[in-house]
Homo-oligomer: A and B are copies of this chain.
Amino acid sequence: MSRAARDPQAAVAGAEPEPVAAERRGRPRSAAADSAIIEAVLRLIENGASMGELSMEGIAREAGVGKATVYRRWSGKDALMLDVMRSLDAPLPPLDGDSVRDDLVSLLEFLRRRGLAKRDSALLRTVVSHVQAHPELWEEYHRSVVRARNEALLAVLRRGMATGEIRTDRPVDTLADLFVGPMLARAFLHRWKDLPEGLAEDIVDTVLDGVRPRPRAAAG
């Protein structure tokens, strides 16, 4: 689990400068409780609990933990959900392929599996929708999760611009959305069914080539 869970303030603030040698007195927090709580949330959501049905009361009960133990760690459902989401995070894949095209495929394939694939979908849909409804939560989620992904994508595209693989007459962040967006559309708009195998390649190639019929038989 992210260490933010141990520091409710940081969970929302984002910055975590580590109080270093903050006099540690009294009984230390139980690491077992931390994970029991997070896992209780995951279990409840997977059993079909919607956000409104997810009560702190129920979470504590499911985790076999006193309510105070939850509130000692997180200031409320919002902060807890943020850490639940972070607990679902995975490290980005390495992006050092031979071609920019391959890196783009890796990145979209990563998105397809982590984050948008079927297994997590109920869970994600629930948590994401909650986070979206709260500007400050969204802000924080953006900062801690979305931004890293986006910057990786921008880096790849910039590299492509340098090597001549990507056109340079458009702002790079506009181009980035052309790749991420279609994946998003599939996930959000079309019933959230799981995303098919070859989707990442399909999207990357079609966006690279364009939707207009190519003037010649094939692109290279």
A180 lies within 8 A of B185 (CB): yes
Residue of B at shortest CB range from A132?
Answer: B129
Interface residues of A in 169-215 (CB under 8 A from B): 170, 174-175, 177-178, 180-186, 188-189, 191-192, 202-203, 206-215
**Residue from B165, B174, B184, B216 in contact with A212 in the complex, judged by beta carbons closer than 8 Å:** B165
Q: Which residues of B contact A212 (CB under 8 A)?
A: 165-167, 208-210, 219
Cα separation A216 to B219 with both chains bound (whole Å): 11
Interface size on A (CB < 8 Å)? 54
Q: How far is the CA of A142 from the CA of B191 in the complex (A)?
A: 8
A208 to chain B, nearest CB (A): 5
**Chain A interface residues (CB < 8 Å from chain B):** 50-52, 122, 125-126, 128-130, 132-135, 138-139, 142, 146, 150, 164-168, 170, 174-175, 177-178, 180-186, 188-189, 191-192, 202-203, 206-216, 219-220
